[in-house]
Structure 1
Amino acid sequence: MEKQKYKKRSCWSDRAEALLIELWQSKVSAFRGSKKNSHIVEEMAMELQQQGVHFTASEIKSKMHNLSQRYRKEKTAVGSTGGSPSQWPLYDKMRSVLLPYVSYNAESLEKFSKFY
């Protein structure tokens, strides 16, 4: 049998994550416009490379997905009342990136559902 080849996991530094989140926040409105966002992620990859952070567009997309998932889990753990603050250092940064999206903002969903 042929051995399956597994892709080596990307290791993101704190600096690389912070740069990605900053860049993501600056382009958040572009992500909201079109359904196909691969060109935006490609631009982000090029901009990160100019800053010395070398990841492919698919690695960036995967990291964005993972950060979004982690934010959802943390938001659920914190609760809608904001009871215990999150211990995740990136929580507030991710909140500022994802809060404009209705799907991440439970308060907006509740307000929106009252109209229908």
Structure 2
Amino acid sequence: MRKGKVVVAEGEIDDSFYIILSGRAAVKKENKSIATIGRGECFGEMSYLSGKARVATVSAATDCILLKISATLLDKASESMQVLFLRNFALTLIRRLSKDINNNQGKGVNVSSQ
């Protein structure tokens, strides 16, 4: 993915999410920068899980290599592969939530609404 290219746009509906294999991505909500994410991090998972519209726009802050995970394609994988994937996916989300809670401790931030 070339620097500056929009990967997902706020408001769109899609059944996929992405894992950053290399590079950095910029996350914006209502055109305001809210985060920069990098290697090993994922984005788009809320839409992947809920089937609802994207809540943020993510674009390549640098040239990136991304792995796209599609629910449609994952449904075609073997049951054992799906179980393995979902277990690792859940662990990734738990680590992210734990990190967010630790980073926001004492800041008066309601992490349940983020």
TM-score range, shorter chain: 0.3 to 0.5
Q: Which has the higher strand share?
A: 2
Q: Choose 1 or 2 for highest CA Rg.
A: 1
Q: TM-score, normalised by structure 1?
A: 0.32
**Which protein has the bigger helix share?**
1
> Highest relative contact order (Cα 8 Å, sep 6+), 1 or 2?
2
